């Protein structure tokens, strides 16, 4: 068994599950709204990101389902891992197709945003979503 990690502010530790819940709700809200934008007009949205409407619909369903799973705490780990795959696909597109760097060509259109969501989903997946999950 490993030694406990030293903590500077141990009084914050009881709030870790609430912090993970808030993160889950934020991640869920972002993915549900993003997925909804893919689903409500997959032709226009697909054109803007360079994907056919069928793939855009699939991404929309994956983002809405994953976002709801993470936010509601239903199959939380699987939902978080699925969202990581979606973000890896977005990073792949930005690096190899659009040739943007971490911060992008304009300082705001890079793949730093996707990387943040990968790490948040990784925290959600590795913690099981915290105490406040259904399944």
User: Does residue 27 form part of some domain?
Assistant: yes
- pLDDT digit string, tens, across residues 79-90: 999 999 999 999
Run of H or E residues at 128: none
- 17 pLDDT higher than 80: yes
Tell whether 101 is covered by a domain.
Answer: yes
Determine, yes or no, domain membership for 1. Answer: no
Q: How many domains does the chain have?
A: 1
Domain containing 35 equals 15-127
**Is residue 3 in some structural domain?**
no
pLDDT tens across 44-66, in order?
A: 999 999 999 999 999 999 999 99
CA distances for 65 relative to 19, 77, 127, angstroms: 22, 13, 20
Residue 6 counted as domain residue: no
pTM tops 0.85 = yes
**Residue 72 domain-assigned (yes or no):** yes
Q: Over the chain, what is the mean pLDDT?
A: 95
């Amino acid at each position: 068994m490993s030694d406990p990690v030293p903590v500077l502010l141990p009084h914050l530790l009881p709030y870790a599950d609430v912090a993970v819940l808030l993160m889950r709700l934020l991640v869920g809200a972002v993915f549900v709204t993003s997925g909804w934008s893919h689903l409500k007009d997959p032709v226009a949205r697909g054109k803007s990101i360079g994907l056919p409407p069928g793939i855009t619909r699939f991404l929309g369903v994956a983002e809405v389902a994953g976002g709801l799973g993470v936010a509601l705490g239903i199959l939380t780990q699987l939902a978080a891992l699925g969202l990581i795959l979606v973000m890896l696909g977005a990073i792949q597109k930005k690096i190899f197709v659009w040739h943007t760097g971490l911060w992008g060509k304009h300082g705001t259109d890079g793949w730093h945003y996707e990387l943040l969501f990968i790490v948040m989903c990784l925290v959600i997946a590795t913690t099981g979503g915290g105490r406040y999950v259904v399944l």
